[in-house]
Structure 1
Amino acid sequence: MFNSMQQMAQSTCVCEVDATELLALRAELVADQDMLGCKITVNDLLCKMLGKVLPRHPLANATFDGKTLYTHKHVHLSVAVGAEDGLMVPVVKNVDQLSLCEISKKVRDLAARAKSKSLLPDEQSGGTCTITNVGMFPIDIGTPVINPPQTVICGFGRTVRRAVIMMDDTIAPRSMMNVFLTFDHQVLDGLEVGRILKDIQYYIEHPEMILA
């Protein structure tokens, strides 16, 4: 972590999104878990979403060794998992090509084996971007540290029910969530990060597009 901070020009941008429809979709999928053959979590949906967003932004699905920038055709998503001895980041390979259930089963398997210290070396390397979801804790905003040689890490805070003024000026209870994206300013600028967060916001607020 110290080396990551020393070797990169890290900065974090935060975007508030309305996760109400995402949570509603997740509830529908849980109700249909017998038909699906898997129990979908919010984190599974976020992983699937990043599999759609990152190919649109090659600089965010990249690795940088300080001299050479490598962009990657497919998304190999490092998933932060809390283990007894600290944080583990197993990698879901080709997440952009997997179905939602395939992602769910793969994440569940890797997380379980991360906690039991039975991951293979190949399952802990080759990531092109990292997701960290702290929604189970009372954390609204974080500044996650990039997992080198990756160029970004995407974090998601807890959902909080709040009264929100809607587009028609009515007030409605909504489930709001913060997305925080830490990026290497040597590779990405604020304009590109804004575009990435705009895409993430769109998919979370229109979650049916995650499944499209």
Structure 2
Amino acid sequence: MRHAAAPAAAQPKYAPPPAIQLQDTEHVVLTTTEGEIVLELDGKHAPITTLNFLRYAQSKRLDGILFYRAMHLPWGDPPSGLIQAGTQGDPRRLLPPIAHEPTTVTGVHHKAGAISMARYAPGTATGDFSILLSDMDGLDANPKAESEDDRQGYAAFGHVVKGMDVVRRIFDAPLDPNKGDGVMKGQMLSVPVKIVTARRWEGPWEAPVSAPTPAAAPAPAP
């Protein structure tokens, strides 16, 4: 059975990813329906992953995506884990997968507030990412692990510098016990939180002054 392509008129027109002169430190502002999250990305030590994220942001492919998952760990007070957002495999938004940058190479580790790429096998990361509420060293590369997947770990490439309160609100939002497949079942937000815009911060970093964020409305699927 073949899947017919959607009519051209129905396809979002995303700008081609721009040429970017990568800085050692980059900032991206995620404006969500719950407030603003500012990310500091390590272009010096994780250049492939940082550049990939900037290309998604600058071509507006992250505008309208959702924080859709909150993984709660069975320990910690307050409870900790991670939240996840991204393109969820939408072919209209996707850029080619990127080479994997393990923590043993970058030195950027999975500590509280870190941003890390979601993936299947190493080298398959595209446009989904997680933000950590707590240290999760098990996501780091472990050369002594039995499986190749664990030996490679995940690619952390920056951390939150503003808006961890927003991250916590998203994490604490109600979950739907029936949504999700496999290990993700019961980890999906009942009402996903929309990323309205994702933008590179141009120039030296200074905390932006934002207008009050309106009350969140239910976010439609992209």
Could you tell me the TM-score, scaled by structure 1's length?
Answer: 0.26
Could you tell me the TM-score, scaled by structure 2's length?
Answer: 0.25
